[in-house]
Amino acid sequence: MLVAERYEKIVQLVNERGSIRVSELSELCQVTEETIRRDLDRLEQAGRLRRSHGGAVSVKDADAQPEIPYSEREIANAEEKKRIAEEAVQLIRPNDRIVLDASSTAWYMAKIVPDLPITVLTNSIKVATELSTKDKIEVIAIGGLLAARSLSFVGPLAERSLDVYHVDKAFVSCKGVHMERGISESNELQARVKQKMVSIADEVVLLADSTKFGLKAFAHVADLADVDTMVTDRGAAEETMEWFRSQGMRVLIV
């Protein structure tokens, strides 16, 4: 198979499946994984696909699931999110080092968290701005590529910035919570930042209203086994809550 033919086959497979792993492409194209990685780099540079951890995703699929603007997320299920935020804030202790994602629920947390001696990492402009009025809270803003819709920073620089830190607790929200797929996001760049947030935390707190249960969004963030505590509302069936508890997760219902 000529190189040009291999490129076309890779793009075709990625578009047909939405995403595909390097190992699968290596087997299907009968070349080494290293060759496939180089192919994917070149195809990403050409704008024909997007690299992901361990493989590639379709540009078409990524564009079909744009990140929801912050102004829309802020008002969606607002009352539930505010109650979840109030409960989540109770988990913060003096001298904690925490990370808050760019979700609207994290912003609600930032608005009501007491002025305690804590350190907060965040990639959210709105969260950082909200916390800037509280003298005892040390705020570390993670830089990177500005995602205008969410008013947050994403991309390789944001991910590398998080690599140098370790926190006691990570507070993250998501687009979908699925029993098999786990936690997922509609935007891959946000998902990758949240993956990093989960990896640097001793304890992971998932902030998820019940409308997100059963959904499988575009990009995987973490397995449910990675979550220590979930804060949610009363909208889900009790058997669903019991299933989460059976997985070793502490579930707080507001």
* Residue 62: per-residue pLDDT: 47
Token pair 């994290």 is found at 106
pLDDT, tens only, 44-101: 877 788 887 778 888 765 444 455 555 455 445 678 899 999 999 999 999 999 999 9
Q: Give, as one character, the DSSP assignment of residue 67.
A: P
* Residue 83: per-residue pLDDT: 94
* Residue 96: per-residue pLDDT: 98
- For residue 9, the number of C-alpha atoms closer than 13 Å in the C-beta half-sphere is 15
d(CA 105, CA 108): 5
d(CA 185, CA 57): 14
* Residue 46: per-residue pLDDT: 76
Rg, the chain, Cα only? 19
* Residue 160: per-residue pLDDT: 94
* Residue 149: per-residue pLDDT: 84
Q: CB 72: neighbour CB atoms within 10 A?
A: 10
Q: Which residues of the chain have pLDDT under 50?
A: 62-65, 71, 74-75
* Residue 57: per-residue pLDDT: 83
Is the pTM higher than 0.75? no
Q: Hey, which residues does 222 pair with through a beta bridge? A: 183
* Sequence-separated (6 or more) residues with CB below 8 Å from residue 35: 26
Q: Domains (ranges, CATH) in the chain?
A: 3-64 (1.10.10.10), 70-253 (3.40.50.1360)
Q: Are 172 and 197 in contact (CB under 8 A)?
A: yes
